[in-house]
A = this chain, B = another copy of it.
């Protein structure tokens, strides 16, 4: 298994140089904290890196090999997971971004996300337990009534208790409108929740003393479809009079799934049998509240793509530098050895640079998106908050789907660089592919993200949302017009940025005649959008690299990676464009019966 090493130089570069985080933090006047000092940021990143490298990374392969163990009493996590959580808890990490009102440190989510990245690269399965718990707490901070908040948030904020999101049922995943779990009102204002939920990550485990499930269910008599779904808080143990763990509630884990990867994280079938639940937010508006958590989970899943891609890159780079195999096509580079290191071979470099370009470009993109979300939640400037929120709405499906899809490509390159050894469990490269494979499926498949992007976000706003984004890119391109060293980047970016609007217009016209045009074009559209978005990031980074000059090796490599991205990866927009503009006919023509004979 590759030993993870936090890419601190790049994290700091993105946070401080690309995104100017110190200034950003000062704009979050609504945040629940006076100041986020530079020293604090540095301390968090360096301490977090140590925890990820020294505590979590060594448990990553253990988690895969042991997996979780189910018994009627509960789920046992792999060796070391509980101890690592104890250390994490004692270090105060779970409370980083929690509201100070409930004992949190009130730090910006965008800073919390840096820790999420390091956790995610070093041990994604472990990280899901705490990540989802923190997302559940954020949802309750925003939507739960005061008494629920007072009962649950202090314990959830500091990580004593965890949380889950319970959406999927055996017969419905993407289509939540047909869910069946039911809620019967009790006289005391609580509800009895009955039904089966599947694919519940961390639905049961031994890391925390209580687990607070956030459950979508239908109140008896509620309308059919998505407008009859409410959200309930259903704790594993009902709190006693002192707010401590009390009576066991009617919810239990029936079994755990055997899966391709993320073996260290328990994926649970949860049976709710008249479990006592409490309404969160308004009746029949449950999806609305849950979207808050889903959006955060989508950002987290995008992070999985970046984190796994980074780990695969680190593993592949180490091997490519050490493994001696064949001579360079241009003559021996290691003449005293029996062969040259893999890294001399152009195609190995192509794979490594692809991984590097995706990881670093995605880091800039996700961190930027996290800043936009900070602004939308915590800026006092209402106009800025609204704009940032709308832009974040547009970028979220792109980040989720594009970064997981390209992350999978990177993970597969990681295996490929190892040759046959990449297929062997011991080296740990194949685990990265298996763990990451879920990322294009959960929290809305790539297809669902693509429909959300093109259908809801782009066409649903009559193109306004996209226009805001392309205007931003246009402005950036304009600002670089007088810089000849940037011409190569800017020329291409500006061209694509313009073309993006034109493609959107054409698809919009077609969609007026046939709604299936949206679905047929959507995934290509999303991937196109992702490539342009990363080109925007890489062009911004190229500016900073040029400013810094070639003496700084890191900056020189940035510029080279930007060049590689524009030369070798960005041309894929062309294929996506041609495919999506070919229309829906060839996708829709075949009768369902005629697919096989």
Contacts and interface: CB of A to CB of B under 8 A. Distances in A.
Given A7-B596, A590-B560, A592-B341, A416 B440 contact: yes
B597 A554 contact: yes
Q: Is the interface of A mostly helix, strand, loop or mixed?
A: helix
Interface in A27-74: none
Given A350-B587, A441-B415, A592-B321, A260 B557 contact: no
A311 to B, nearest CB: 12
Interface in A543-597: 553-554, 556-557, 560-561, 563-564, 566-569, 571-575, 577-579, 582-597
B592 A563 contact: no
B564 A587 contact: yes
A430 interface: yes
Contacts of A416: 440-441, 445-447
Interface string A313-325: 1100100010011
A437 B433 contact: yes
29 contacts: A173-B325, A174-B325, A258-B425, A259-B430, A260-B434, A313-B596, A314-B596, A317-B595, A346-B516, A346-B522, A347-B519, A349-B520, A353-B595, A356-B596, A415-B437, A419-B441, A420-B438, A423-B438, A553-B591, A553-B594, A557-B590, A557-B595, A557-B597, A563-B589, A564-B586, A564-B587, A566-B586, A571-B577, A575-B575
Given A171-B338, A430-B437, A568-B582, 18 more contacts: A10-B597, A173-B325, A259-B430, A317-B595, A317-B596, A329-B518, A330-B514, A349-B590, A353-B587, A416-B445, A423-B437, A423-B438, A434-B434, A563-B585, A564-B587, A566-B586, A567-B583, A574-B575
Interface of A: 7, 9-10, 168, 171-175, 178, 199, 257-261, 313-314, 317, 321, 324-326, 328-330, 338-339, 341, 343-350, 352-353, 356, 408, 412, 415-416, 419-426, 430, 433-434, 437-438, 440-442, 445-447, 450-451, 514-516, 518-520, 522-523, 553-554, 556-557, 560-561, 563-564, 566-569, 571-575, 577-579, 582-597
